[in-house]
Amino acid sequence: MQNNFNFKVFFLNLLFLFLLLIAAIICCLKTGSADISFFDLYSTLFGQVDDIKRSIILNLRLPRIFIAIAVGGGLSIVGAIFQGIFMNPLAEPYVLGISSGAALGTVVGIVLGFNLFFINLFAFTGALVVTLFTFVLARKLLTLQNESMLLIGIMISSFLSAMILIIISMAHETAKNAYFWLIGNLALADMQYADYVLIFTIIISIFLSFYGYKLNLLALGEDNAKYLGINYLQVKYILIILSSIMVAVLVSLSGIIGFVGLVVPHFTRLIYGVDNRKVLPYSFLIGAIYLTVADTIGRTVMAPAEIPVGAITAFLGSPIFIYFLRKSRIS
């Protein structure tokens, strides 16, 4: 696999996907209930435009696109990592119960009437606590085997989902906001921190991408990885912990957005192959494009009403994933 890696082709594909992302950003910036032309975009960046359109572009649409890029790219690269670590094509960012922990924290914060900052803090704390609990429990009781991590994550997710339903059923009007957050809605994200979240996600994603080759070796099994000089458990710990932290941050902002971390890595492998040195960075860019476009569809197709982006990704992702399952069985 090492000998087949072509750096020139890799960087050309990376450049192509980056330019495709820029094109998606430009198209999504001008698309919405308010009429924004390409000239308005150009004038906003390099000249003068009226204050209303400038506010729409810079204060409403651009921060939301930043959040979409961070969430879509981050969930996609983590999905690729989890599928590689657990060697399970159904693994995705929520497999360890991270989203359920964040969802529980958010619902509690909403029902108690806290502001957005503390709601995000509750979600972040819940996600990290669940990740740590899953990690320690699997290590102590079941020796941190791939199957045990997946099973414990599923059991914790089911338990926390039941708790969330109980809390929402006991709440009244406040449960409506919790419901919209649970199905994934970027409109509820704090746009004040959009640029910081994007920078954080890009830095962590670049760091994770450097583990692509080691992730390839993990697929050979623990004994073979050790023979090739890879500390199997250390690499596994680093990837799981960093991925969990990033997902905790993203889920606390966007809610539960399904199918992105599941479908995008499969789509990437279908086009570019299974080498994780390519799959990880490509998945980030493809996921960023996918969620940016999906969110734009959600906020424009029924404008001024809005469809949560989680519903859009589920609607688009379900048939795509069924196609992947059918294709894998045929091959």
Domain at 204, CATH number: 1.10.3470.10
26 lies in some domain: no
pLDDT digits (tens, 9 = 90+) for 25-76: 999 988 887 778 777 777 776 766 667 777 788 888 899 999 999 999 999 9
22 lies in some domain: no
pLDDT digits (tens, 9 = 90+) for 273-283: 999 999 999 99
| Per-residue pLDDT at 199 | 95
Q: Which of 120, 130, 126 is nearest to 102 (CA)?
A: 126
Whose structure tokens read 């966007």? 254
**Residue 192: C-alpha distances to residues 28, 102, 117, 260, 295 (Å):** 20, 20, 11, 24, 18
4 lies in some domain: no
| Per-residue pLDDT at 50 | 66
Q: CA-CA distance, 26 to 312, in Å (whole number)?
A: 20
202 lies in some domain: yes
Q: Domain limits at 321?
A: 64-330
Q: How many other C-beta atoms can be found within 10 angstroms of the C-beta atom of residue 34?
A: 14
Please give the tally of structural domains in the chain. 1
| Per-residue pLDDT at 328 | 57
Q: CA-CA distance, 179 to 103, in Å (whole number)?
A: 10
Q: CA-CA distance, 65 to 29, in Å (whole number)?
A: 8
| Per-residue pLDDT at 74 | 95
98 lies in some domain: yes
> For the range 48-55, what are the long-range contacts, defined as Cβ-Cβ under 8 Å and sequence gap of 24 or more?
none
| Per-residue pLDDT at 294 | 93
Are 201 and 70 spatial neighbours (Cβ–Cβ below 8 Å)?
Answer: yes
Can you spell out the DSSP letters for 143-193? Answer: TT-HHHHHHHHHHHHHHHHHHHHHHHHH--THHHHHHHHHT--GGGS-GGG
Can you spell out the DSSP letters for 221-251? Answer: -HHHHHHTT--HHHHHHHHHHHHHHHHHHHH
Are 238 and 210 spatial neighbours (Cβ–Cβ below 8 Å)?
Answer: no
Buried b (16+ CB within 10 A) or exposed e, 81-98: bbbbbbeeeebbbbbbbb
| Per-residue pLDDT at 286 | 97
- Alpha carbon 85 to chain centroid distance? 17
19 lies in some domain: no
- DSSP single-letter state for residue 1: -
Buried b (16+ CB within 10 A) or exposed e, 295-306: bbbbbeeeeeeb
- Low-confidence stretches of the chain (pLDDT < 50) are 1, 330-331
304 lies in some domain: yes
Q: Which of 77, 46, 45, 16 is nearest to 208 (CA)?
A: 77
Q: CA-CA distance, 97 to 329, in Å (whole number)?
A: 28
DSSP 3-state assignment of 96?
coil
Q: Which of 14, 21, 102 is nearest to 65 (CA)?
A: 21
53 lies in some domain: no
